[in-house]
Amino acid sequence: MKPLDMFIWSLKMSGRELRSNYSKLLLFVSSIIFGVAALVSITSFGDNLNKAIYDQSKSLLGADITLQAREPFNDELLALTDSLGGEQAEEVRFGSMVFLPKTGDSRLSQIRAMRGNFPFYGSIDVVPADALNRYQNENMALVDESLQLQYNVQPGDSIRIGTRDYLIGGIVRGVPGETAAQGVIGPRVFIPLETVLGSALLQRGSQVTYLTHIMNPDLNTEGNFRDKLRPVLERNRARIETVESRRASLGRSFRNLTGFLNLVGFIALLLGGVGVASSIHVYIKQSKKSISVLRCLGAKLPAILFLYTCLSLIMGLTGAVLGILLGGALQTLIPAVVQDFIPVDVSTVLSLRAVAYGLVVGLIVTLLFVWLPLAGIRDISPLAAIRSSYEPATGGKTNLLRLFVVVLLVAFILAFARMQTGDWIQSLFFTGTIGLILALLSLMAVLIVFLIRKYFPNGWSYVWRQGLANLFRPNNQTRMLIMTIGFGTFLLAVLYLSQRVLLDEIRIFGTSGQANTVLFDVQSDQAGPVADLIREEGLPLIEVAPVVTMRIESINGRTYQSLRQDTTGRSSRWALQREYRATYRDTLNASETITAGAWEGIYRNDGSPVPVSFETGIAENLNVSVGDTIVFDLQGVTVETLVASLREVDWQNPTPNFFLVFPNGVLEPAPQFMVILTRTDSRETSARFQQQIVQNFPNISIIDLDMVLATADSILSKVTFVVQFMALFSVFTGIIVLIGAVITSRFQRMKESILLKTLGASRQKVTRIMAIEYTLLGFLAAITGTALSVATTWLLALYFFEAPFRPDLLPLLLLVFIVIGLTVGIGMFSSRSFYSQPALDIIRSEEV
Amino acid sequence: MLQIENLTKTYTSGNRSLTVLKNVSFSVEDSSTVAIVGPSGSGKSTLLGLCAGLDQPTSGKVVLEGINLSVLSEDERADVRNRNIGFVFQNFQLLPTLTAIENVMVPAELRGERGVYDRAFSLLEKTGLADRIHHYPSQLSGGEQQRVALARAFINKPKILFADEPTGNLDDDTSSGITDLLFNLNRDSGTTLILVTHDLELAGLTERILRLRSGEVISDTVNAPSVYNNGEKGYPA
Ligand SMILES: Nc1ncnc2c1ncn2[C@@H]1O[C@H](COP(=O)(O)OP(=O)(O)O)[C@@H](O)[C@H]1O
Ligand SMILES: [Mg+2]
């Protein structure tokens, strides 16, 4: 047969096969629908997101260039800004309490003191719209919508920041380049810059950022523009952002998100692949006779392989197309779900790339998985047409074709993972885990069969013995069912468990009867009066910690400058550049454990370097260890220190935790402020307390941890929702695969059950034998899958999330029961037909 | 022309080996009819399978229409089968997903031929199934299925037809119908017929009978096919 003839013949035969078997092949098609849908919807969303970031990138920054520093621009920076020309706007950004006289509430807010026409690109969405042009001249404030929602303030009401009152000129609905979520964490309040310059709000010690926004379309900010400015900026510890850098960093962070979601979707597709493989496996098994007859009639092996490949591709294509349609519909919903934490408007047009991607990946998965069972066609001898009682002797040869397909499959999974994560190690981990889990499941199946045979309970009742024996009789599906059901259970459990790990990490925080109110920026002289006020209110004074800000001057004699230029980059830049907020005390607190060196709580003031303690993570970033010397710059004064110890810090503990701790006896005279912790037990006490503080000490910021947690929770639950949504595709696919696997095995058992019935076994007995078999299979698969998932998540938690793992047994138990229930339920349901059918019909219906 | 020389087939499983055919040699002239008879398990099907190139002998060779099958690959043998051989099986072996006429067309389609519908139809007409051509095997009785199988066997105008117990699964009345049809079609097309059966009555209809016992040819007798023609049913010596 010429290739073209072969193709035409295969198409013709596929059509004939489909015509009479479409119901059997329906499972095949549905196996890949959900996986493809997941991939298509996520990819399309990712594409649209990227496009939006690209299209809207100027308004993401609002300017062509933004320079920022932690101190007012010095002469060198001012000269630099001047040289950049164009139109400029200034901004000073800081956190401060905003007091609302109307309700008596106060709320820690992000204050943006502005001068100039920022944003130059895009526009702040304000109601009423003209307020944007007026607020700077009329000394009004624009406040975030979240403040309005929370306290029902309106334009015309007044707010107090520091000691000054402002009329609310308008409500801010959106800021270009920022997400709604950013506003929830701390409501944004825009005020004129003139009103804060020189006020106590900007004094040393508070976290203030000075920005200059520049609009100069003539500047070419691409290429090495930033590199050329870097020396000046680094010298002055300033940062620059351009449209390009903002676009790139946004793109990076969202690529992680879509990459992760794509992996979750891919798992659904892989699971579907297992379904495809098992449905084709059965199909081939049932078509064995037909295949050997075709070979008798002179069909060559390539023709037959081609025929079944064609058939699979037709179904794969059908599944992929349906998946694309479903995915196309779903991707229109995603932007609405995630809009709170993406800074751009994402369109819902189905991207062509996503369609092509879904189609190609769907078809590749189909082909690869289909070829696993197809490789077995080689072993079907034409002899089977004249003799059925003998299994063809394959002579134990390894099927090279199958081996080749397995290698391709592994390579494909690896390549896909690499594409999504951009990291070989993670991809290897992903692929290796899948391979290992399948191998372990397969091993488990073999072991179980071995054990049952070896210790067969001959004393058990007939029904039990039959049910057990079914697990190892010829034509048993034990391995296949344990692998498919086990793998499905495994995936679902891992998704569930790792999600719990991530959520728990956040929830643990703040649940206990610990501090929930943190007072920042308390001046040294305010510490006493604030403590008094806390006691007067009847609140506990949980902790008072002094904070001194400092920067790194040199490490082991090498200056900050030279360390930064060191391109081998042994110390991370941000760790070198950041401002350290250190505390001093003579004891460790409960959330700290020394991991290296020894804790020293008192400095003897003998001129030797001051022994300090670093948190392990930051020490790693700085590449310092016990014995290294570091010189700090404390606002003009230098202090030589020696790394005396490294501490592990439990960050979930809401006592103020510090990267850097000094002993008592050094920092006491340095300029400093205090952090004070207390606990309020009701909304009312909290509001009253905050009001007292804000009125008496306007410079103090209060963080209400309960509120922070509630907001974090609401944002997280949206992220979780998206992840769960993707995981749901795996659930659907898992159920389809389960149905497929069980229906598959049903064909094997059907004849035997009918024979038993014919030989006089009551219907009830036959049912019970089957129920026992399916229960055992479901149980073994679910238990193995779940156990493996616990182990995997534990490893993930340990090495990847770096979070504690406390598996919740109840939901896992529930999962096991659901899987068993589904297995038995589907098994019994799909077998019900042969009770109603006369036994003879089924015995005669040969092709089983 | 089919030539069999010193054919031996041994099955080995584990450390046990079983010789199913021992040094079988014979040859069959074109257009003749031969029956291979013997008790169940005597190796008839094995022999047939080797003759048709479905399996490889342990030693000896099969030359079919001048082609030595022993040196061909599995796929080359499939091609030889497609060009030269027709099959009729005990269990009919129709493809369940194909209609009657599609089943008949398969061997021709496998050659890459197109437009074989009419040929298939006229064959089905001859077997008396003109009104059942669009039925699936499951909608046909055993006898009807075997008629379809006969039509399929002749579609490629084979030089040799192998029939393995063609009536083994049919009742007596249906059997004689199928037997008539088989011999008529065979005579019309001048095909060589090699018929495997344990039914001596059926074997009596051929020109020559090879008797097989425990894998060895124990007799090779010329038979007067007149037995069939004058309607007598006896067992030739
Ligand atoms: N694959 C095999 N392995 C072992 N023995 C076999 C195999 N195939 C056939 N046999 C044996 O060969 C003998 C002949 O079988 P067969 O040719 O089917 O006999 P017949 O068709 O005459 O009934 C039988 O005894 C059978 O047990
Ligand atoms: Mg036989």
pLDDT tens digits, one per residue of A674-689: 888 888 888 788 888 8
Q: Which of A297, A379, A397 is the mutation pick for testing B, counting most B CBs within 10 A? A: A297
* Residue found under tokens 């310059």: A197
CA distance A236 to A106: 35
Task: State the pairing for strand pair A541-555/A558-559.
Answer: antiparallel
* Residue contact B96–A847, C-beta within 8 A: yes
Listed range (A174-183, A386-395, A407-416) with the worst mean pLDDT:
A386-395
* Residue contact A290–B110, C-beta within 8 A: no
Mean pLDDT of A220-232: 81
Query: A65 — alpha (psi -120 to 50), left (phi > 0) or beta?
Result: beta
Mean pLDDT of A583-602: 88
Residues A297-314: tens digit of each pLDDT = 888 888 899 999 999 999
- Surface of B (161-220) touching A: CB under 8 A: 164
Q: At residue B107, does pLDDT exceed 80?
A: yes
Task: State the pairing for strand pair B216-222/B208-213.
Answer: antiparallel
Q: Calculate ∠ Cα A828-A829-A831, nearest 5°.
A: 65
Listed range (A12-21, A86-95, A708-717) with the worst mean pLDDT:
A708-717
Q: Angle of helix A243-286 relative to helix A288-296, nearest 10 degrees?
A: 70
* A108 touches A89 (CB < 8 A): no
Read off the amino acid at residue A630: I
Which residues, other chains included, contact A453 with Cβ-Cβ below 8 Å and sequence gap of 6+?
A472
B40 lines ligand 1 (CB under 6 A): yes
B168 Cα–ligand 2 center, Å = 10
CA distance B147 to B143: 6
* B38 touches B199 (CB < 8 A): no
Task: State the pairing for strand pair A637-649/A610-615.
Answer: parallel
B143 lines ligand 1 (CB under 6 A): no
Which residues, other chains included, contact A744 with Cβ-Cβ below 8 Å and sequence gap of 6+?
A278, A279, A281, A282, A477, A480
CA distance A174 to A123: 9
Which residues, other chains included, contact A804 with Cβ-Cβ below 8 Å and sequence gap of 6+?
A501, A504, A505, A797
Q: At residue A535, does pLDDT exceed 60?
A: yes
pLDDT (0 to 100) of residue A847 = 40
Q: Which atom of ligand 1 is nearest to the CA of A390?
A: 1
Q: Which atom of ligand 1 is nearest to the CA of A387?
A: 18
Q: How many CB atoms lie within 10 A of CB A450?
A: 11
In degrees and rounded to multiples of 5, residue A709 shows phi and psi of -65, -45
Mean pLDDT of B91-117: 90
| Half-sphere exposure for B107 (CA within 13 Å, toward CB) | 30
Q: CA of B69 to nearest chain A CA: how many angstroms apart?
A: 14
Q: At residue B237, does pLDDT exceed 50?
A: no
* B229 touches B219 (CB < 8 A): no
**More confidently predicted of A263 and A398:** A263
* CA distances for B70 relative to A673, B24, B80, B155, angstroms: 97, 15, 12, 26
Mean pLDDT of A239-245: 87
Q: How many CB atoms lie within 10 A of CB A782?
A: 28
Q: At residue A571, does pLDDT exceed 70?
A: no
Q: At residue A724, does pLDDT exceed 80?
A: no
Q: CA of B218 to nearest chain A CA: how many angstroms apart?
A: 23
B17 lines ligand 1 (CB under 6 A): no
pLDDT (0 to 100) of residue A838 = 54
Mean pLDDT of A505-520: 64
When mean pLDDT is compared over A121-125, A666-670, B119-123, the highest value belongs to: B119-123
pLDDT (0 to 100) of residue B232 = 42
Task: State the pairing for strand pair A208-215/A580-584.
Answer: unpaired
| Greatest alpha-carbon span in chain B | 55
What three-state secondary structure class fits B4? Answer: strand
Q: Which residues of A touch B80 (CB under 8 A)?
A: 298
pLDDT band, residue B100 (cuts 50/70/90): very high
Residues A731-787: tens digit of each pLDDT = 777 777 777 766 666 666 666 666 676 676 677 777 888 888 889 888 998 999 999
Read off the amino acid at residue B88: V
* Residue contact B85–A298, C-beta within 8 A: yes
CA distance B42 to B20: 7
Nearest to B126 by CA among B36, B65, B80, B186: B186
**More confidently predicted of A433 and B147:** B147
CA distance A42 to A337: 13
Nearest to A437 by CA among A844, A10, A14, A786: A786
Is the entire prediction scored with pTM above 0.80?
no
Q: At residue A708, does pLDDT exceed 80?
A: no
Nearest to A787 by CA among A502, A437, A504: A437
pLDDT (0 to 100) of residue A651 = 66
In degrees and rounded to multiples of 5, residue A563 shows phi and psi of -65, -40
pLDDT band, residue B196 (cuts 50/70/90): very high
pLDDT band, residue A506 (cuts 50/70/90): low
CA distance B99 to A303: 20
* Residue contact B96–A383, C-beta within 8 A: no
pLDDT (0 to 100) of residue A748 = 61
Read off the amino acid at residue A103: T
Mean pLDDT of A181-185: 68
* Residue found under tokens 């709604």: A180
CA distance A786 to A792: 10
Domains defined along chain B, listed by start: 2-222 (3.40.50.300)
CA distance B163 to B199: 13
Which residues, other chains included, contact A721 with Cβ-Cβ below 8 Å and sequence gap of 6+?
A337
pLDDT band, residue A192 (cuts 50/70/90): very high
Q: Which two tokens stand for residue A180?
A: 């709604």
pLDDT (0 to 100) of residue B231 = 41
Read off the amino acid at residue A24: K
CA-based radius of gyration for chain B: 18
**More confidently predicted of B72 and A765:** B72
Helix (H) or strand (E) holding B227: helix B226-229
Burial (CB count <10 Å: 0-12, 13-18, 19+), residue A755: middle
* Residue contact A9–B45, C-beta within 8 A: no
Mean pLDDT of chain A: 83
Mean pLDDT of chain B: 88
pLDDT band, residue A6 (cuts 50/70/90): confident
- Surface of B (124-153) touching A: CB under 8 A: 136, 138, 152
Residues A622-642: tens digit of each pLDDT = 888 899 999 999 888 889 999
B45 Cα–ligand 1 center, Å = 8
Mean pLDDT of B17-38: 92
Mean pLDDT of A509-532: 77
